[in-house]
Structure 1
């Protein structure tokens, strides 16, 4: 049996339904984001230096409990780099996905008796990883991608979609798409190179071919009018010969 079968996953909507229907939920505070852990904002926008927020936090209240559950999570610990589908969604909408992940973590800590170890679909879990990697994570060992291979250069040198696919398979096998800025940049490089190859192939396939005769044949000369076939003197000689022939018949 695969270890991933032990993980119960739901959407954030299903989790909220369980929490709200319990009668124990007493409200959720606004999700806040921060680049440094000091300044917190409810509305976050990317800049040239930051493609995503570094931290997210939220408070969840439970009836009968005086102090709310306050949870702060870090982007690099939650970013689903192992999944091309989910990492792409996080890159496009960081506030949405980072925000609902922090809400899920807070719900799980506040209502452990209701949710157990339920996770939402995009959450990282050691049981999602290959057995060798999971064992190393449980033992506290650091699982790092090799530093001797220049993955970005290899992706940029790829000339076909098949080469991109093969490189991505190898990169995921050694976890080169690490859950940090470097891993995010590498994934973006691979994705942009794939897009460039697809656009190039499409441009070539839709280009109109040049006429086959353009480089090998010279233009066809215009045909002269019938009266220009013979020089004027030839026509005069023929008229003179015709008159003589007519007089001889008489």
Structure 2
């Protein structure tokens, strides 16, 4: 069975040709059924049984590399573009895969550097290097602490994003708490921005003692008309016609 497609056939062919070690290659050839002959083409609607390449390395005997269609079909690739080409040109890709596999078998030492240069798979982080899991939010406490409808709606949206309202007793109770909190905030009387600020409290003014009352009364300016001197002054001013 051919190995998973790690390098394209073009790269493998170029490396082998550059090495000068390729003496001959014949194929790919296809076998339609057990009674048929090997042919360089396949035109039947059903896929062939086998495909082969006969490849010779300098100083070695020719080798026949055969791949069955069943083996080829089992390969799963991670390149969508290549899979699309594979579906569009099945015989061309099948033949090139057999050729590539022949290079991998006969010229493994030459292709090894290409395989070594492949990016290594990312290793799983060690337990002490793994990122810490995000802290769980205390939704019930956040709902209770909300002071405005906007805050409770924000909590509602974020809780739904992480599916906090699960279909169990805990999730149902949490959702009921949020709805009750929102209703309470929505029905609460709105604050009047034009209301006068409250005056100082009784504690701030101090106790109403006789001494404090006398002090307050002494600070109040009262009319002085009731004094005798002031009455005489007014009568004199009146007799003079208001002249002074």
Q: Fold match, TM over 0.5?
A: no
TM-score (structure 2 length as normaliser): 0.40
| Greater RCO, CA 8 A, separation 6+ | 1
Which has more radius of gyration?
2
